[in-house]
Amino acid sequence: MNARDSKLAVIGQGYVGLPLSMAAVAVGFDVVGVDVNVDRIGMLLRGESYVEDIPSSQVASSIASGQFTPTTEIDDCMEFDVAVITVPTPLRDGAPDLSFIEESSTQLAPLVRKGATVILESTTYPGTTEELMIPILEAGSGFKAGVDFFVGYSPERIDPGNARYHFTNTPKVVSGIDAASLAAVDGFYSRIVETTVPVSTTRVAELSKLLENTFRHVNIALVNELARFASALNVDVWEAIDAASSKPFGYMRFVPGPGVGGHCLPVDPSYLSWKVEAESGEPFRFIELANDINEQMPEFVVTRATELLASRGKPISSANVVVIGLAYKKNTSDVRESPALHVCELLEHAGAAVKVVDPHVVESTNVPWMLAPLSPELIDAADLVIIVTDHDNLDYDLITSHAQAIFDTRHRLSPASNVTFL
């Protein structure tokens, strides 16, 4: 079966599902993109993209070609050849919430037919594919996984705003519940991406995703902790990191910041920690420590901001503060779990008047702070400017030349008399 004979159902049209849908359309798949968000589907039907790495023109042309059908109706996926589940897996009170996977599997199950392939991409703990998804699919379809239809897991590796690595040129880890399922899953992704990385079991694939993000989470926590203590050591932590980064082996560069955000780092390591403790009865101490350090960074930022204002004779309770950047990552509009949200909350709780500049975040985003355009007047009126997210399309010369004081948590600016670094 080639791509042009295949019907692909993608359940979830967010930061993972939409790029997959567009990449599949590009190689000839007929794609049904399902999402419960009516507004999101409405935008897609109008040819509008809400994912910055996907241009609206690509969505519009995919719909015009007849190869892409956005819908809220799961029945539109009938007679699918391949279905990929890319729904959210949030944490609720510190425990994994797999309700979106359960609901999607339940709705998809009656549509499963012999020879079809179902793939889970949502980040989760080892065992989810076999222990949760498969029983639901089998009960709702009346078929046997590995006998009548194929099942696999392939972790998403979407990196919003990355100009170098995108969906098709990022190696894709693939797995199946048996050899035939692995072949089906590998065969599907091999049509879309340049490189696949087959592994022996779905559990290995599930763990690989958690390992990738736990590695980042722990190392970011390490440099964040260093940044907090560097002044006590009378050392410029940024210069030390630059020096260490000159080593061509045995070292990987990580830098401190105001905290971690997005779906991955604040969530994924906790999935692993939760599963380890559930199975072994012992805590995953590295993850718990990293969580504690990274979660405290917004508070550390506000403490430093309070000290900077006090050193200039200005109490934070009456200060005008401009926060630069609300998204969790530069050059994106994604505010999920952004440390900037917590920084703004803490500033307001301390009595500061807060205004936010973020050219990537639109007014319709559900945030309570005033989004203001960057202007000399705005910066002139600020007692302190805090750079939390260093988007490339901001005029940093304007900020530096008009600000009374700047707290740069990203080390974006050059050293100056009015600039303090994290």
The 10 Å Cβ neighbour count of residue 169 is 10
CA distances from 255 to 54, 240, 276, 386 (A): 28, 11, 28, 17
Q: Record the tokens describing residue 205, joined without a space.
A: 């694939």
Please work out, in degrees rounded to the nearest 5, the angle formed at the alpha carbon of residue 96 by the alpha carbons of 288 and 134: 135
What is the C-alpha to C-alpha distance for residues 236 and 102, in angstroms, rounded to an integer? 49
**φ, ψ at 318 (rounded to 5°):** -125, 20
Q: Which residue type does 146 have?
A: G
What is the C-alpha to C-alpha distance for residues 298 and 312, in angstroms, rounded to an integer? 21
Which is the catalytic residue, given 133, 264, 316, 378? 264
Q: Are 226 and 195 in contact (CB under 8 A)?
A: no
Q: Which of 185, 186, 200, 202 is nearest to 131 (CA)?
A: 202
CA distance from start to end of the chain: 55
- Residue carrying the six token digits 């990449």: 23
Q: Which residue type does 178 have?
A: D
What residues contact 297, with CB distance under 8 A and at least 6 apart? 224, 256, 257, 258, 259, 260, 339
344 classed as catalytic: no
Catalytic residues: 264
